[in-house]
Amino acid sequence: MPEKPNLRKLDARSLRGLAHPLRMELLNALRRRGPATASMLAERLGESSGATSYHLRQLAEHGFIEDAPEHGKGRERWWKAVDQGLAFDSTEFDGAGPEVRGMANIFLHEVAATHARELSDWVHTRDRWSEEWGRGADMSDATLQLTPELATELVHKMHAVIDDYRGRVTDKDTPGAEQVRIHTHLFPTETD
């Protein structure tokens, strides 16, 4: 069984350090592409190196990232992600004050915006990928009638399937292997 990723559980304090669009982008970039400097990240994300430096220090202060001295040369400061992902349980913030609830909303909206951007990028670049990747990609949706208990069961089963595929290809040099993103969304909708 492949090892589950190291996830960091968000609490009110860590949410304060993360609930900013650029910080979330920086953290995602370090997780997906590995260690980098503030200048490298600024160029990659179209930001100033001053802004990326500031927000990287904030992420480090809250324990999301740390120095990666094994990559540095001279005065370059390299950063790396500490964890591989985040665990967010919105029910833990139900009784929180307006500031914390507001940060939770910022976080959730930025996650949704990131998912939309990633999907849009795929649609925009899909003709650059092989036929095999075209067949391997998916944009599906479904509408089901479920209870909260069944919805929770379904989410756990979807995550179990994803975990089953984690680590099956460990070598980046495996022919045809690419990093893939999987988005799962399950939420209730209002009906007339």
The pLDDT of residue 1 is above 60: no
pLDDT (mean) for 135-150: 94
Position 2 scores a pLDDT of: 53
Position 58 scores a pLDDT of: 96
Position 96 scores a pLDDT of: 87
Closest CA to 146 of 138, 137, 155: 155
The chain-wide mean pLDDT, for the chain, equals 91
Domain total in the chain: 1
Residue 23 lies in a domain: yes
Percent of the chain with pLDDT over 90: 69
Q: Look at 33-37, 44-48, 154-158, 174-178 and tell me which has the smallest mean pLDDT.
A: 174-178
37 contacts: CB under 8 Å, gap ≥ 6 = 76, 77, 78, 79
Residue 149 lies in a domain: no
Residue 116 lies in a domain: yes
State the amino acid at position 28 in one-letter form. Answer: N
Residue 148 lies in a domain: no
Tokens of 112: 């949704």
Provide the 3-class DSSP secondary structure of residue 174: coil
- Domain encompassing residue 22: 7-127
At 70, the pLDDT band (50, 70, 90 cuts) reads confident
The pLDDT of residue 142 is above 80: yes
- How far is it, in rounded angstroms, from Cα 17 to Cα 118? 23
Tokens of 146: 């479920």
Starting at the earlier edge strand, list the strands of the sheet with 65-67: 36-37, 78-81, 65-67
CATH code, domain carrying 66: 1.10.10.10
107 contacts: CB under 8 Å, gap ≥ 6 = 10, 15, 18, 19, 24, 88
pLDDT (mean) for 107-136: 93
pLDDT (mean) for 87-108: 88
Residue 123 lies in a domain: yes
